[in-house]
């Protein structure tokens, strides 16, 4: 196991009817900017629950943060933060609203001229404007981590940011919120969380036995609850398992002491930036090709995953590893998620070259757990995913 330090300061308030507890978490005398997305919270009762819980504090609202939170929209919110002397941010939404809020938390205290530099220059935020979240969509883990991904449509870019000052102070996780989530987004959430675990697990053996078991148990839980959640999102028990699995998949715990890959996400983000494909779906497109291309380097963990998660007992290590990739792809397809780029766009020719060029321009010359995934390899993997 590698050496590590671990600190996660986010307070989790989990369970049925917990949104009302919001009123205990916002500091007295705060001036709150209540941030949300395209309006789903106004149809499913969450807006009302949040508004009731905020009745004793001064609140300004900002709705309309789109999926894949857009820089230009967030800049409008930043203006409000400055003009209205906001002191506390509250994100009510999925990963997009929470990530947008993290950007605002960082941008509110940033003293440079162009907040986009926070992303392009990888400026780490040590202390942002304080914020909390009410999660409405289990998927990203953003409710308990300090990372964010922001999109800029005008340049077709989607870049990551973060820093120790960008953990939510609290996150409220009421699994009942999944009742109103469309099937497509539920499938996305399962796929995203599943791939978060894979990114931190599918590397090489490092004798971190507990981390392996944590990762495998999250994968097994997601596989077990996926059909139940899709069949009946009003069923509280699988909803609770689903929600907590998504948070645990990316709150930093399973990444401690082990190598991480994350190349699937870096390639996937480009597919969203170029084609607008849902985040989770881009991961399902990249995963099979990435694991096939890097088969030799990853086969020990692939075979372990095949044995322990998919109960593959027959054949050599190579056989088990290969079967594990096939099982993973079949799982995504069972969720209704297509796994080829050509399933999403007819204009896929040239994509691999474009992504490879972007990585070269950004100096991303060695991604992955061995830092040896060069842009020419990225090009081959993306081509395999056509
Ligand atoms: O905008 P509203 O009206 O809220 O509708 C949303 C949106 O259309 C809807 N939705 C959310 N909760 C709902 C609901 N509809 C009905 N009932 C509810 N309870 O679902 C749609 C998608 O929402 P979004 O927030 O975009 O989804 P998700 O949580 O999957 O977030 C995706 C974003 O997170 C980033 C992705 O790149 C993408 O931009 N990620 C963030 C990460 C992080 N911060 O750690 C890690 C991830 O790998 C990921 O990259
Ligand atoms: Zn993800």
Q: How confident is the model at residue 77 (pLDDT cuts 50, 70, 90)?
A: very high
For residue 94, the model assigns a pLDDT of 98
Mean pLDDT to the nearest integer, 174-197: 98
Q: How confident is the model at residue 113 (pLDDT cuts 50, 70, 90)?
A: very high
Give 198-236 pLDDT, tens digit per residue.
999 999 999 999 999 999 999 999 999 999 999 999 999
* Ligand 1 pocket test, candidate residues 67, 106, 160, most atoms within 8 A of CB: 67
In this structure, the residue with its CA closest to atom 39 of ligand 1 is 68
Q: How far is the CA of 54 from the centre of ligand 2 (A)?
A: 31
Q: How far is the CA of 2 from the centre of ligand 1 (A)?
A: 32
Q: ipTM of the predicted structure?
A: 0.99
**Residues near ligand 1 (Cβ within 6 A):** 37-40, 44, 67-68, 93-97, 99, 136-137, 139-142, 145, 147-149, 177, 180-181, 185, 188, 192, 250, 265, 279
In this structure, the residue with its CA closest to atom 17 of ligand 1 is 181
Q: Which atom of ligand 1 has the smallest separation from the CA of 180?
A: 17
Residue 95: C-alpha distances to residues 36, 340, 359 (Å):
11, 24, 24
Tell me, what DSSP letter sits at residue 144? G
In this structure, the residue with its CA closest to atom 45 of ligand 1 is 142
Give 296-343 pLDDT, tens digit per residue.
999 999 999 999 999 999 999 999 999 999 999 999 999 999 999 999
Is 11-176 assigned to CATH 2.60.120.260? no
In this structure, the residue with its CA closest to atom 15 of ligand 1 is 181
Fold (topology level) of 183-384 = Dehydroquinate synthase-like, alpha domain (1.20.1090)
Q: Where are the domains of the chain?
A: 11-176, 183-384
For residue 95, the model assigns a pLDDT of 98
For residue 133, the model assigns a pLDDT of 98
Mean pLDDT to the nearest integer, 347-366: 97
Q: How confident is the model at residue 285 (pLDDT cuts 50, 70, 90)?
A: very high
Q: Which atom of ligand 1 has the smallest separation from the CA of 178?
A: 19
Q: How confident is the model at residue 280 (pLDDT cuts 50, 70, 90)?
A: very high
Q: How far is the CA of 265 from the centre of ligand 2 (A)?
A: 6
For residue 43, the model assigns a pLDDT of 97
Q: Which atom of ligand 1 has the smallest separation from the CA of 189?
A: 30
Q: N- to C-terminal Cα distance for the chain?
A: 37
If phi > 0 it is left, if psi is from -120 to 50 it is alpha, else beta; for residue 281 that is alpha
CB 143 within 8 A of CB 247: yes
For residue 249, the model assigns a pLDDT of 98
Residue 309: C-alpha distances to residues 116, 192, 206, 221 (Å):
41, 17, 18, 10
Give 154-169 pLDDT, tens digit per residue.
999 999 999 999 999 9
For residue 144, the model assigns a pLDDT of 98
CA dihedral 131, 132, 136, 140 (to 10 degrees): 70
């Amino acid at each position: 196991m590698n050496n590590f330090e671990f600190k996660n300061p986010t307070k989790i308030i989990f369970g049925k009817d917990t949104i009302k507890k919001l009123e205990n978490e916002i500091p007295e005398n705060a001036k709150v900017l209540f941030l949300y997305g395209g309006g789903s919270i106004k149809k499913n009762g969450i807006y009302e629950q949040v508004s009731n819980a905020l009745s004793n504090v001064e609140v300004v609202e900002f709705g309309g943060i789109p999926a894949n939170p857009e820089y230009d929209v967030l800049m409008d919110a930043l203006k409000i933060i400055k003009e209205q002397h906001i002191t506390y941010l509250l994100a009510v939404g999925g990963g997009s609203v929470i990530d947008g809020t993290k950007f605002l938390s960082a941008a509110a205290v940033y003293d440079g001229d162009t907040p986009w530099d926070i992303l392009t220059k990888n400026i780490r935020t040590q202390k942002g404007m304080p914020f909390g979240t009410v999660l409405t969509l289990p998927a990203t883990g953003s409710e308990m981590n300090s990372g964010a991904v922001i999109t800029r449509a005008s340049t077709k870019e989607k870049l990551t940011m973060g820093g120790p000052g960008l953990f939510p102070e609290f996150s409220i996780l009421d699994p009942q919120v999944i009742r109103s989530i469309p099937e497509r987004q539920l499938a996305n959430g399962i796929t995203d969380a599943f791939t978060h675990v894979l990114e931190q697990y599918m590397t090489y053996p490092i004798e971190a036995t507990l981390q392996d078991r944590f990762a495998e148990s999250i994968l097994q839980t997601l596989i077990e609850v996926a059909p139940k959640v899709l069949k009946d999102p009003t069923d509280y028990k699988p909803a609770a398992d689903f929600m907590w699995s998504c948070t645990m998949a990316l709150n930093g715990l399973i990444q401690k002491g082990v190598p991480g890959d994350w190349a699937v996400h870096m390639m996937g983000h480009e597919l969203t930036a170029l084609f607008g494909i849902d985040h989770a779906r881009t991961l399902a497109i990249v995963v099979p090709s990435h694991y096939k291309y890097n088969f030799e380097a990853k086969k020990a963990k692939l075979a372990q995953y095949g044995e322990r998660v998919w109960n593959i007992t027959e054949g050599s290590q190579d056989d088990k590893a290969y079967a594990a990739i096939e099982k993973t792809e079949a799982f995504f397809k069972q969720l209704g998620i297509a796994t080829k780029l050509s399933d999403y766009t007819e204009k896929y020719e040239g994509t691999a070259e474009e992504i490879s060029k972007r990585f070269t321009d950004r100096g991303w010359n060695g991604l992955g757990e061995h830092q040896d995934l060069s842009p020419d390899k990225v090009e081959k993997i993306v081509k395999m995913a056509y």
